[in-house]
Structure 1
């Protein structure tokens, strides 16, 4: 009994001590958690941590994001709570803490190695999707338990610290989407416990994959696209037997795909696309029976498609944009998993496998741009899952199989430029497709009334065939139609009057048919129509005056018909810049604005037209119209106004003479970790270092003592520009992180001095290179295309990924800088918004045209407002400069108007910059860029694409004509 009492007493004492100890620990943990908020190192603007109160029940284990075990805090998950401030290293003073997740917040600043050392007992640390800057923190003490480390999607720069090699138990390491700019270190291959390694989207110094990466035998995921990798894929990858996803796409890898790739026996996905790999694909894939997705597109691969690769049960198989030849292996048709097949832009020959589509749920096939021949496979849509059929640019012959008319899943069809013949199955016309493109084949027959079932059809492109018969009135049920191309066929009869109801129609081309009757009237619904070509038919009656009132119509061709009556005055006041009404039966006086040499070819062949100015046409009775006098007066007034504005701008612009060297007046804002002093920069702002002068200030090239080069912009003095606004805008610019945007390092603000310091770009501006003496030699077509896509991505980031969006307002080649590898960096963004405020804007003290002559969108003249669509217009002009090599107002010709005229009348080659090496020009790509540029420079902002859409169009390999 005594023993029992003693035991009970001991237990009671132990329990009391334990409870008190647990209570003390909880109180201590609560105090630690509250410390960063109390000293303002951590802010909670959304109130997500409202329940973090010392007096709350069971504190802190019931607090938001806190997990406990046995009364001790073991995990903090504050993901996506909107918290801001510095890295709260104090949290790691909780000795029982094992997992810390601060991802997807607004934390920023530097993280020192000393502060990270406090967290050495953690097993998981996630700081992803924040705004941390400076060097990656090192790990000066042993982290014996750390298995998960995620620093991705931040603004870390410099190198991966060497002491990362001490993280021996690390299983997950993600450093993706930062600004790491040193080499990918070889020592990563020593972290042998790794199962996942993410290096993607970093501007690393060009470096190879670690040579001994095969030592990472447990590695399952290697994600390294856009990591500036170069050199060959190491043979040691054959030892990565646990690998599931191997992604080294969008780099600069060269050489052959190593045969050892066959050792990755558990691989499910291999991504090698957009590199410079060459040689033949090794026939070494027979053991990769788990492989579902393989993409080696956009390389320089040669030879045949290996049988061992084609025989795998792949879901997605992409080898497009290479130099492959030979036939498509028949065994592909037996694959039960095949869903996507992309082999376009190669040199493949032979016919498509007959069994293709019979054994799998094939959804997408693109074999365009090859040398394929023979018939279309009969059972391509056997499983009724086919959505996209793209086979243009081959020699496919025979008829379209009847079974294709039962392919209810089909949405997108491009089979143009082949040798297909026969009648299109009636059921095919009735499919609810988005896109039909049969152009330049030998197809015949008529469009049946059942076409009315294709409710979602947006593009009907069937020019250059032998189609005939009437255009059925049922076509008017297709309310989504945007483009109709019927030219070069044998259609006849009258145009259905109801086509005037197409509210979304952009282009209508019916040239070279036998249509008769009058042009339909009441065209107010054609608000989005940009091109109308009804030429070379048998149309009669008068020209509807409403054609001249369509707001965005730029091309109108009514030539070679039997039209009569006068030329509507409205045509001369319209937006049309390509007009052809020649060879008709028009009569009367040519409207004044069309009565010029420029329009003469568009008027010839109308015997009863008369002119006041053109000797090639019969003369009209002359009387000087009052409108000409008015035009002269207005022109004089405009000249006086322009001269006055220029004088005012010159009078009010003055360079700061003093103030930069008054150290007491400096206010410094740093956005990156820098290894130099402000004095070193400021005392270098001398004439000897001056490299340029622009609308916002002077730019100096400064070589620091360390050898690093920076660019310093000393801004023009601007009265009324509040320092608080300047600092606020600089904070916004400093948080921007994108590989195609120049990096702002820090700013100085003095009493009479404002200086911004950026990374220096070795090749200067695109304007200097493009229009300099060596522009043609230095900028070949692949380089120009790369610059176009890079600049588009940078601008899209400003418009769509920044909150709030940033409008550049002065995009031009001089504001696109090029680094040593000619990669583009958009520069000077936002400065127009900051420095050149309009008078009606908040805090506006300066009034100045937003933009540069030749790049300003036309709507600015009457709205005085700049939007994202203004930037899109400016970008379109830049694209035209890249294609043509001309300045925007070369020889006083507007480049937009000039390109439209020359490309239409003389062809693509007359637009191209003659300084480029013709052997390196990809004409399909040039045509794509030109089409995108013309979309961007549409007259009305609403008709211009967003920059996100521009990026998609430039990257879309299926975009041949937009």
Structure 2
């Protein structure tokens, strides 16, 4: 009998029950352990399978990036799937499920496409691929990632539309697609994202109106739609987004409306940017309700009326920019309440009245720019007393009185620009102690007295313009070292007297030195020859005496020299002929004697010279550059003779060289004819033998060596080197230039490419490590307005560069060449100008180290199917310097008609050389003419022709406009011409940077003219 079921007594029953349970537990324990073991093994198996599957998806995704062995993704290896969550770059997993929750591969210099395989990672909450070079369409199936909260695809080159099933992304909080190539309308589905707090669609090509439904995104705190092609009315519905802290709608959008008064309801706004987007009407007083604002940008619009006093309620405002509008009236005195204001920009308006005293009391003011208005009265005497002033520009007004003495009180002042006013009195002594000072422009005033002690020796000084004043005194020498940054010193048309100190030679960084129109005397110091970088010297209209110092010939960069209207004596030094880029020389109205240096005739750079009104004698050389000078260049010298002056010279002196040459010729003619014939036959036999040997050697080399091709891909390729080589046929040639021959081709997958075969260098090969490394650098460049280098195919003899194909060819072809039948409209030309400028700006300012194009021209600006500009062949001119120069390519890099004057003879270039060439392209766009050859006169180019036709003034631009253009907005053409003239300034220091060019061209759609300061 089983005692477990015997129940004679309750106590006995409980005892036996306890014993039974214990026995049962002992029996179950091994079983449970076994079950737990099975579950653990099963879970481990499931976990490993999941990791392997996710790793496989990532490897497939990596293959779509185009470069399978990218150094940043070496950990993405299927054999290492077990460490997926702990060691794979940019991967984070859920700690419980081990599913990938975050993919962050931002700023890894990746390219190619983003494969839809990414949507198989269904647990993703974060996708960050920003700061790469991804192109093509963004995966439309992204909506299946229902857990997605954060999506950042900014700063890539994604294209097409941005429409997908947004309604399924109910958890999405951040959508950042800034700075891509998206087109079409703004995505409507965005307005159906209930959790969205951050939306950035700026810097794309979205067009049309802003959907009113965007006003329903109640949780939104950041909205950026600027930098697109949006038009229409600025929707008042955006005023419903009361949680917004940042709203950016400006730059390149062109709205046809005013600022909605409903924006006054956005009381949580901290940053409001409505700049450069075509707004008109008055500034709404309701903006005064936005008391949390620290930034208000309304510049470069067509805003009218007065500045609302209600803006003084913005007590947290730090940055206020209302510049480049049509505002009138005075600056409200109530602005004294803006005690946090750091930057106040009101330039290019129609404001008048005094510069309010309150600006001197703003404790944190650093930047005050009021130029190009109608301000009168004096500059507040306490301005700068706050100790924070860094930049002050009050130029082009009607200000009077003295310059305040506290401007540099805090020793932070960097820029002081007061030119074109009615200021008088001395320069404050304190400026001589302002060590932070960099740019000083105070010309065209009535300033008097001497320069402050130490002023010209401030350590960071880079530009000094004090011309057209009444400054006087001696230019004091010093043992101190002047600023190595000082490039331009203009003291012309003042009353300085005494000698020029020998310490002038210590200003080694000077590029422009203008001392004309003073009362300086004594000899020109020989130390002037220490100015190795100087481009322009003007000492005219002084009282300098003695001889022209021979040391001037050591100023190897000099292109402009004016010593006219002094008291100089002696001869003109023939050593000046060593100035190989000198193109302007004026020594007129002196007391120079003896003969004209015959060496000047061989100075090919010298295009203008004036020797008039001296005591020169002898004959005027008739050859070389002398034949180009005007007859007035020699008048006023009674003892000079020659055809220029219609004053015949002594026959004997003029015929002697001819007799000498004749005698030499007669001696050579005595060689017997039979010896000449024998010599010619011998030379012919030797030449034939040399050619035969060369052919035999070449055939042997071809027989014994078949160079192997190496393909270096800079993105994912669906073709190989064989496909590339198959395109190298004569009937595929689509272009030829100094950098090589260009072939067009279609790859097996249907993709069109352009293949540039680089010319071979002089050493017989083109495959060297230096060139390969440089091309590797170019291959990593990814920018919307730069032609994408897809691959390098090379062997020991040849380099083939594979580029994306541009179906509309080059700008040069459309303006002048085979495609000239297609007349580009003005809007398209302006668009191309801005886009090409942005491409060059990227090379100059966003690449480290900067990249100099070296051959900017219209033929190197290629156009896509929608006429988007892409800069091509950047940097290639550098590679070709060792090769033979073709008829298109200069031996110093650059194409004829585009070469900046300073390096046509020096072989020295910098980014300002590119700026000059770009200015020529702008003139091509305006005129429709080629850089050279379209102007009748020999040697006349588009730059000089444009200046001649317009007298160098932008108001005459109508005279040179392309006759094929119709209905050109004159204000736009004027602005583009203005920029072009700045770009082609003779001296490179006077040219803008490409970043400044982009900013100025952005104003072309505005009626107000932008001035560089």
Deviation of 1:292 (Å): 0.4
Quickly say closer, same or farther: Cα 1:270–1:46, change in 2 above 3 A: same
Give the Cα separation in 2 of the matches to 1:839 and 1:469. Answer: 49
Identify the match of residue 70 of structure 2 among 24, 46, 68. Answer: 46
Q: Does 1:69 align with 2:94?
A: yes
**2:806·2:862 contact (CA, 8 Å) conserved in 1?**
no
Task: Give 1:642's aligned residue.
Answer: none
Q: Does 1:615 align with 2:650?
A: no
Q: Does 1:315 align with 2:373?
A: no
- More divergent stretch after superposition (213-222 vs 901-910): 901-910
**1:281·1:301 contact (CA, 8 Å) conserved in 2?**
yes
Deviation of 1:286 (Å): 2.6
Give the Cα separation in 1 of the matches to 2:236 and 2:363. Answer: 37
Deviations 1:251-277 (A, max 9, x none): 212111111111221111111122222
Structure 1 unaligned residues grouped into runs of 5+: 631-670, 672-694, 698-717, 745-753
**1:67·1:74 contact (CA, 8 Å) conserved in 2?**
yes
**1:352·1:374 contact (CA, 8 Å) conserved in 2?**
yes
Give the Cα separation in 2 of the matches to 1:839 and 1:499. Answer: 34
Structure 2 unaligned residues grouped into runs of 5+: 1-17, 663-714, 716-732, 736-740, 757-774, 790-803, 962-967
Quickly say closer, same or farther: Cα 1:479–1:229, change in 2 above 3 A: same
Q: Secondary structure at the match of 1:876?
A: helix
Give the Cα separation in 2 of the matches to 1:221 and 1:913. Answer: 43
Q: TM-score, normalised by structure 1?
A: 0.76
Identify the match of residue 944 of structure 2 among 899, 915, 919. Answer: 899
Task: Give 1:478's aligned residue.
Answer: 507
Quickly say closer, same or farther: Cα 1:420–1:282, change in 2 above 3 A: same
Give the Cα separation in 2 of the matches to 1:156 and 1:297. Answer: 31
Deviation of 1:619 (Å): 6.2
Task: Give 1:293's aligned residue.
Answer: 319
Q: Secondary structure at the match of 2:272?
A: strand
Give the Cα separation in 2 of the matches to 1:276 and 1:522. Answer: 55
Aligned residue pairs: how many?
849
Give the Cα separation in 2 of the matches to 1:905 and 1:567. Answer: 35
Deviation of 1:418 (Å): 0.7
Task: Give 1:103's aligned residue.
Answer: 130
Matches within 5 A, 1:379-398: 379-398=406-425
Give the Cα separation in 2 of the matches to 1:322 and 1:186. Answer: 33
Q: Does 1:34 align with 2:65?
A: no
Matches within 5 A, 1:674-713: none
Q: Does 1:185 align with 2:211?
A: yes
Task: Give 1:337's aligned residue.
Answer: 364
Deviation of 1:51 (Å): 2.6
Q: Secondary structure at the match of 2:288?
A: helix
Identify the match of residue 223 of structure 1 among 241, 248, 252. Answer: 248
Give the Cα separation in 2 of the matches to 1:627 and 1:789. Answer: 62
Deviation of 1:427 (Å): 3.6
Q: TM-score, normalised by structure 2?
A: 0.72
Task: Give 1:750's aligned residue.
Answer: none
Deviation of 1:722 (Å): 6.2
Task: Give 1:793's aligned residue.
Answer: 838
Q: Does 1:517 align with 2:546?
A: yes
Quickly say closer, same or farther: Cα 1:500–1:119, change in 2 above 3 A: same
Identify the match of residue 283 of structure 1 among 289, 309, 326. Answer: 309
Q: Does 1:125 align with 2:151?
A: yes
Q: Does 1:538 align with 2:578?
A: no
Give the Cα separation in 2 of the matches to 1:161 and 1:921. Answer: 32
**1:856·1:873 contact (CA, 8 Å) conserved in 2?**
yes
**1:903·1:910 contact (CA, 8 Å) conserved in 2?**
no
Matches within 5 A, 1:678-757: 727-729=752-754, 757=807
Give the Cα separation in 1 of the matches to 2:479 and 2:997. Answer: 32
Quickly say closer, same or farther: Cα 1:786–1:517, change in 2 above 3 A: farther
Matches within 5 A, 1:563-712: 563-574=592-603, 575-591=605-621, 592-596=623-627, 598-612=629-643, 614-615=645-646, 621-623=653-655
Quickly say closer, same or farther: Cα 1:724–1:894, change in 2 above 3 A: farther
Identify the match of residue 330 of structure 2 among 304, 317, 336. Answer: 304
Quickly say closer, same or farther: Cα 1:160–1:517, change in 2 above 3 A: same
Quickly say closer, same or farther: Cα 1:877–1:907, change in 2 above 3 A: closer
Deviation of 1:248 (Å): 2.0
Task: Give 1:875's aligned residue.
Answer: 918
Task: Give 1:503's aligned residue.
Answer: 532
Identify the match of residue 272 of structure 2 among 232, 243, 246. Answer: 246
Identify the match of residue 81 of structure 1 among 98, 103, 108. Answer: 108
- More divergent stretch after superposition (488-497 vs 378-387): 378-387
Q: Secondary structure at the match of 2:168?
A: coil
Give the Cα separation in 2 of the matches to 1:892 and 1:154. Answer: 47
**2:418·2:442 contact (CA, 8 Å) conserved in 1?**
yes
- More divergent stretch after superposition (873-882 vs 166-175): 873-882
Deviations 1:917-955 (A, max 9, x none): 99969999977743431348x8xxx99987567657989
Deviations 1:385-405 (A, max 9, x none): 211110001111122122222
Q: Does 1:260 align with 2:286?
A: yes
Deviation of 1:132 (Å): 2.0
Quickly say closer, same or farther: Cα 1:294–1:382, change in 2 above 3 A: same
Matches within 5 A, 1:413-492: 413-432=440-459, 433-450=461-478, 452-456=480-484, 457-492=486-521
Identify the match of residue 857 of structure 2 among 811, 826, 830. Answer: 811
**1:883·1:913 contact (CA, 8 Å) conserved in 2?**
no
Q: Secondary structure at the match of 1:421?
A: strand
Deviation of 1:807 (Å): 5.8
**2:279·2:301 contact (CA, 8 Å) conserved in 1?**
yes
Deviation of 1:104 (Å): 2.3
**1:370·1:393 contact (CA, 8 Å) conserved in 2?**
yes
Quickly say closer, same or farther: Cα 1:70–1:886, change in 2 above 3 A: closer
- More divergent stretch after superposition (506-515 vs 516-525): 516-525
Quickly say closer, same or farther: Cα 1:76–1:810, change in 2 above 3 A: closer
**1:304·1:325 contact (CA, 8 Å) conserved in 2?**
yes
**1:899·1:911 contact (CA, 8 Å) conserved in 2?**
no
Give the Cα separation in 2 of the matches to 1:527 and 1:865. Answer: 12
**1:468·1:491 contact (CA, 8 Å) conserved in 2?**
yes
Deviations 1:11-46 (A, max 9, x none): 987898578547624631441232252483355431
Q: Secondary structure at the match of 1:499?
A: helix
- More divergent stretch after superposition (351-360 vs 857-866): 857-866
Task: Give 1:751's aligned residue.
Answer: none
Deviation of 1:320 (Å): 0.9
Task: Give 1:703's aligned residue.
Answer: none
- More divergent stretch after superposition (352-361 vs 509-518): 352-361
Deviation of 1:212 (Å): 1.3
Q: Secondary structure at the match of 2:555?
A: coil
Q: Secondary structure at the match of 1:362?
A: coil
Deviation of 1:414 (Å): 0.8
Deviations 1:824-857 (A, max 9, x none): 96479569999xx999989x9x997799875577
Task: Give 1:406's aligned residue.
Answer: 433
Higher relative contact order (CA 8 A, sep 6+): 2
Deviation of 1:309 (Å): 3.4
Quickly say closer, same or farther: Cα 1:613–1:411, change in 2 above 3 A: closer
Give the Cα separation in 2 of the matches to 1:581 and 1:847. Answer: 36
Task: Give 1:635's aligned residue.
Answer: none
Quickly say closer, same or farther: Cα 1:328–1:948, change in 2 above 3 A: closer
Deviation of 1:464 (Å): 0.9
Deviation of 1:544 (Å): 1.8
- More divergent stretch after superposition (927-936 vs 879-888): 879-888
Q: Secondary structure at the match of 1:75?
A: strand
Deviation of 1:615 (Å): 1.0
Quickly say closer, same or farther: Cα 1:612–1:222, change in 2 above 3 A: same
Deviation of 1:545 (Å): 1.7
| Higher Rg | 2
Deviation of 1:735 (Å): 12
Deviations 1:324-383 (A, max 9, x none): 111111111111100011111111111111211112410110010111111111212222
Deviation of 1:580 (Å): 1.0
